[in-house]
């Protein structure tokens, strides 16, 4: 039986940001065109005929938000009929986790604005983007249980509590602090320094830590299970 097909292919990017002060956030753009004009959405768009998926998602990010990200991981394909009122569109989605302070966000092309939003305080979103973000967050939560993260997100030297806060923000649940520290330190990719944490109030300042870069990336590449 002949199959009727008139499908377009798009890419969308779920860029998570993390800072100790703001927690986990998502980069969104305000649409400047219909459909869903003036609503917030993920950066993305159609893939060109002579363009790879990876080139397309990096181009769309640059055009709509002004930022360039070295690595984005492919997440999932979303292709439910009716997800885009204009055409039948399949979206190949990507996700990544970055430090927002390292980028200067600037909207362009069909984006009227671009901004970071806390994951727990998102605006009303266009298309099926709430589902895409939820899927990406679940993937990120799963990933950090078997692969170390944080090197690109924390300062060169940091109190151990900052690493705890990062995991709590991404996992969106409390963790056993004593167990967490024991499990993390036994892997050996954290070096304790002689420098002390600067505290604004009372209390004994703890030592600062830094990542053992070689071991960190070796373990990250191999994949390890924290079982947090």
Q: What is the C-alpha separation between 228 and 13, in angstroms, rounded?
A: 28
Q: What's the average model confidence in pLDDT over 151-156?
A: 87
pLDDT in tens, 79-89: 999 999 999 99
User: CA of 64: how far to CAs of 27, 68, 112, 113, in Å?
Assistant: 11, 11, 9, 8
> For residue 219, is pLDDT > 90?
no
pLDDT in tens, 172-202: 999 999 999 998 888 889 999 999 887 655 5
Query: Nearest 5°: phi and psi at 222?
Result: -75, -30
pLDDT in tens, 24-77: 999 999 999 999 999 999 999 999 999 999 999 999 999 999 999 988 999 999
User: CA of 86: how far to CAs of 56, 61, 64, 74, 127, in Å?
Assistant: 20, 22, 20, 25, 11
Q: What's the average model confidence in pLDDT over 143-153?
A: 83
What does the DSSP assignment read for 126-148? STTHHHHHHHHHHHHHHHTTTS-
Q: Give the pLDDT confidence score for residue 30 in this predicted structure.
A: 97
Domains (range + CATH), the chain:
7-129 (3.90.79.10), 158-222 (1.10.10.10)
Confidence of residue 203 (pLDDT cuts 50, 70, 90): low
Burial of 91 (0-12, 13-18, 19+ CB in 10 A): buried
Residue length of the chain = 228
Q: How many helices (H) and strands (E) does the chain have?
A: 5, 10
pLDDT in tens, 106-140: 988 778 999 999 999 999 999 999 999 999 999 99
> For residue 226, is pLDDT > 80?
no
Q: What is the C-alpha separation between 153 and 19, in angstroms, rounded?
A: 7
Q: Give the pLDDT confidence score for residue 200 in this predicted structure.
A: 55
């Amino acid at each position: 039986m002949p199959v009727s097909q008139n499908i377009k292919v798009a890419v969308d990017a779920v860029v998570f940001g993390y800072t100790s002060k703001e927690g986990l956030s998502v980069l969104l753009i305000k649409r400047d065109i219909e459909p869903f004009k003036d609503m917030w959405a993920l950066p993305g768009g159609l893939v060109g005929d002579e363009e790879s998926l990876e080139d397309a998602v990096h181009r769309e990010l640059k055009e709509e938000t002004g930022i360039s990200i070295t690595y984005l991981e492919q997440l999932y394909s979303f292709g439910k009929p009716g997800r885009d009122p204009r055409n039948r569109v399949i979206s190949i989605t990507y996700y990544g986790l970055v430090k927002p302070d390292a980028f200067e966000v600037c909207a362009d092309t069909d984006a009227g604005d671009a901004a970071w939003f806390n994951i727990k305080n998102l605006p009303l979103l266009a298309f099926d983007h709430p589902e895409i973000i939820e899927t990406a967050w679940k993937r990120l939560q799963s990933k950090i249980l078997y692969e170390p993260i944080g090197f690109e997100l924390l300062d060169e030297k940091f109190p151990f509590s900052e690493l705890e806060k990062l995991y709590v923000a991404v996992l969106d649940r409390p963790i056993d602090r004593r167990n967490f520290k024991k499990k993390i330190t036994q892997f050996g990719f954290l070096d304790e320094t002689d420098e002390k944490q600067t505290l604004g109030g009372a209390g004994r300042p703890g030592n600062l830590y830094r990542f053992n870069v070689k071991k960190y990336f070796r373990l990250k590449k191999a994949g390890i299970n924290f079982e947090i």
